[in-house]
Amino acid sequence: MNVKRELWILLLAMLLGTLVTGPIMAQEATARLIIFHSPQCPHCHTVLTEVLPPLQEQYGDQLQILEVDTFQEEGYALYEAAVEKYHPAQRGVPTLVIGDHILIGSREIPAQLPGLIENYLAAGGVAWPDLPNLPVESNTPQSLSWRDKYMQDPVGSTFCVVVLAGLLAAIIAAARPRDWQRRLATHSFPWSFLLVALVGIIAAGYLSYIETTQTTAVCGPVGDCNTVQQSQFALLFGFLPVAVFGLLGYLATVAAFIYGRWEKGPYAALAPAATFFLTAFGASFSAILTFLEPFVIGATCLWCLTSAVCMGLLLLFSAGPGWAALNKQRNPKTARRRKVVKRRGAS
């Protein structure tokens, strides 16, 4: 098996490991709750309009809410069944049931509900409360088609498609050694590479700050960065923020580039190949994430697209030196013979 085939097989294996197991694990976690309310209750109105909507926006499909009107006969019967099952110290609405917890009132619900949601999601989710005749089918959010999600932000989705096409073109262009790759590296190294990497580090660093501090992102005129960062695809393996993973990737890429460019250690000859591999993985990873934004998440993050463009450019910059380093490792005897011939010709 040649070196090129080994490189792409290893790249594909790493992508499958991070992008199949991580997002799927995070996507399965769903918290489900029931809120009992009455149209004549002002505290119910507060919970329904001020407490639950921000949580629903934050967690998206990971939070499913069933609203039950106790003023209706069926709703009141369901409320009585919940009271009998959980035996609360007091009665009244609003009453919220999630897992084996029952919360009552406009003070207790906002104080304890966010923490309970986090705990249940971290534990893999929680099913609907075990109550008789629970009408959850008609209240479960219906999934949108990819066309509907694309049209939620057609301008941002179009940007994603353009960037995705560029990334795929860069990956295909770098998949085989070509003469233009060497010429591009000759004219662009090293400062163009470092400048593009710096822009990518800034984008990934900002998103890392947003994801780790749970603050609101500045998204710009197009897209909705916060929806993307709060989606189930913002975490790998259910705990590692994707932006932090990307930032570490940028730092590793820059470190490998600098080591191969200015150091003369025993592994300096392999550094261009390592840089090429890291950028190839990063571009492929960015392509999958860029695909998810318009067709699965239904929102666009300009910071993510900026990082994706940077990684695609870094891949093109590193392709020439990367393939040259791989060819030297594959044919060490040929490389030494060429050096001997050059020395003899010079003498």
**Cβ distance 94 to 40 under 8 Å?**
no
Residue 188 has pLDDT above 80, yes or no: no
Q: Which residue, among 307, 298, 309, has the nearest Cα to 162 in the 3D structure?
A: 309
Give the pLDDT confidence score for residue 298 in this predicted structure: 87
Q: Where in the chain is the domain with CATH 3.40.30.10?
A: 24-122
Query: Which CATH topology does 145-341 take?
Result: de novo design (two linked rop proteins) (1.20.1440)
Q: Which residue, among 297, 249, 293, has the nearest Cα to 274 in the 3D structure?
A: 249
Query: How does residue 108 score in pLDDT terms, banded at 50, 70 and 90?
Result: very high
Query: How does residue 333 score in pLDDT terms, banded at 50, 70 and 90?
Result: low
Give every CB contact of residue 65 below 8 A, 6+ residues apart in sequence. 32, 33, 34, 35, 52, 56, 139
Q: pLDDT tens, 58-67?
A: 998 899 999 9
- Once rounded to an integer, what is the mean pLDDT over residues 279-307? 94
Q: pLDDT tens, 85-107?
A: 998 877 888 999 999 999 999 99
Query: How does residue 260 score in pLDDT terms, banded at 50, 70 and 90?
Result: confident
Return the percentage of the chain with pLDDT > 70, whole number: 83
Range in 105-119, 253-267, 305-319 the model is least confident about:
253-267
Which is more confidently placed, 20 or 208? 208
Q: Where in the chain is the domain with CATH 1.20.1440.130?
A: 145-341
Q: Which residues pair with 69 in a beta bridge?
A: 37
Beta strands 95-98 and 31-37 are: antiparallel
- Once rounded to an integer, what is the mean pLDDT over residues 9-38? 63
On whether the 24-122 domain is CATH 3.40.30.10, my answer is yes
Q: pLDDT tens, 116-141?
A: 999 999 888 999 998 888 876 444 44
